[in-house]
Amino acid sequence: DGGITQSPKYLFRKEGQNVTLSCEQNLNHDAMYWYRQDPGQGLRLIYYSQIVNDFQKGDIAEGYSVSREKKESFPLTVTSAQKNPTAFYLCASTIREYYGYTFGSGTRLTVV
């Protein structure tokens, strides 16, 4: 079955470390997105990519980086510059926004 897979489900990071969250889709979708969700809060867009080898900053890109070397993959790196990285991270993809997004099951990142 086609879908979008995020891994790991839970991730722990020490302060000062970079960590990379994986997002893979086999839906043949062109566009992919990363969102951050804090407890009781809505979604905030971090980065998005509408085509391979191209991506744009969202509303809260500082302290994050991404790459889009393959259509299927859109990894997110949370760098040490991100001051408050503890959150729930969601990846999404779509063939076209008109049809809505498909979301992964999320990665919960905790700084220890």
Please, which residue, 63 or 106, has the CB nearer to other proteins?
A: 106
Q: Does 47 bind other proteins (CB under 8 A)?
A: no
Q: In the complex, what is the shortest distance from the CB of residue 36 to other proteins, in angstroms, rounded to a whole number?
A: 12
Q: Does 96 bind other proteins (CB under 8 A)?
A: yes
Q: In the complex, what is the shortest distance from the CB of residue 17 to other proteins, in angstroms, rounded to a whole number?
A: 24
Q: Does 64 bind other proteins (CB under 8 A)?
A: no
Q: Which residues contact 66 (CB under 8 A, 6 or more apart)?
A: 34, 46, 47, 49, 55, 74, 75, 76, 77
Please, which residue, 80 or 101, has the CB nearer to other proteins?
A: 101
Please, which residue, 80 or 102, has the CB nearer to other proteins?
A: 102
For every residue of 26-52, which 3-state class applies, written as one string? CCCCCEEEEEEECCCCCEEEEEEEEEC
Q: In the complex, what is the shortest distance from the CB of residue 99 to other proteins, in angstroms, rounded to a whole number?
A: 8
**What is the helix (H) or strand (E) element at residue 108, kind and residue range?**
strand 107-111
3-class DSSP state of 102: strand
